[in-house]
Amino acid sequence: MATVTDGGRTGTAAVQEALAARRASGGRAIAPFVTAGDPDVETTLAVLEAVDRAGATLCELGVPYSDPIADGPVIQASYTRALAAGMSLDKLFDLVSRSRATVRMPMLAMASYSLIFRVGIASFVARAVASGLSGFVVPDLPLEESDELDAACRDAGLALVRLVTPTTPPERAEQIARRSTGFLYCVSVAGVTGERTALPAGLIDRVAWLRERTEVPILVGFGIASPDQAREVAQVADGVIVGSAVVRQLEQAAAGQGVAAVERFVGELVAACRGG
């Protein structure tokens, strides 16, 4: 049940179409991570519009949480700033709804399952559909406990992106890959998010192994900090997720220059993965 808003198609279909179109053009997807409400809602709206203009294929919208699961210091600090500014789930859904008039790229919420469970799966999914979200990334939801959310997302036409890490056993990785919708999130390194100076050994081989076991696109995230690293990952993956490096652009820019800095950086990432 994908929906259509002023900003364009949403849901799993929108994610699939955006990734397929980027691949058909010879390029690979760039999916920036943006913290909702950092430093305030209006800035986030401007950032979403900026990364869309810069050519991002889709966007992960981080839902601030007081006890982050796998987030490094840069994203943790952004969550703290957003929560201090009064960010809430009501404001998140309102932000997404407002953005659909000007932002065409699909957006997925990265949220702790505790937030979804507290609201109630049916209610959370319904509000996501109404706002124009295309799906969820839920990093702390075990495969064995995901059936109810999975069914609700499939019924609503929303993507439920699963994560595979370097420590995931092969048999379990295959099960996760088969259940993921929209795309499969391949975590490049063990540990928390954050920029690294080099890609981990074995990443390229691991992505190639996963590709033989799933038909959904594979996007790689965690630790990718530069256009050169994104280009290297794009040689084998369908796309690259960049979080801490994007958040840092907004945090460290001169006053009034944060949105422009993010747009410029995302544009560089897109150019690096544009292909022939």
Residue with structure tokens 């075990």? 142
**Out of 6, 38, 42, 60, which one is annotated catalytic?**
60
Question: What stretches of the chain show up as alpha helix (H) in DSSP?
Answer: 12-24, 41-53, 73-84, 89-99, 113-119, 121-131, 147-156, 170-179, 203-211, 227-233, 244-252, 258-272
Phi-psi region of 29 (alpha: psi -120 to 50; beta: other; left: phi over 0): beta
Is there a catalytic annotation at residue 145?
A: no
**Out of 38, 40, 67, 71, which one is annotated catalytic?**
71
Is there a catalytic annotation at residue 71?
A: yes
Report the distance separating Cα 103 and Cα 52, nearest Å: 6
Identify the CA nearest to 226 among candidates 247, 202, 242: 242
* 3-class DSSP state of 243: coil
Report the distance separating Cα 104 and Cα 58, nearest Å: 9
195: which DSSP letter?
-
Sequence-distant (≥ 6) Cβ neighbours of residue 118 within 8 angstroms: none
Residues annotated as catalytic (active site), given as ranges: 60, 71
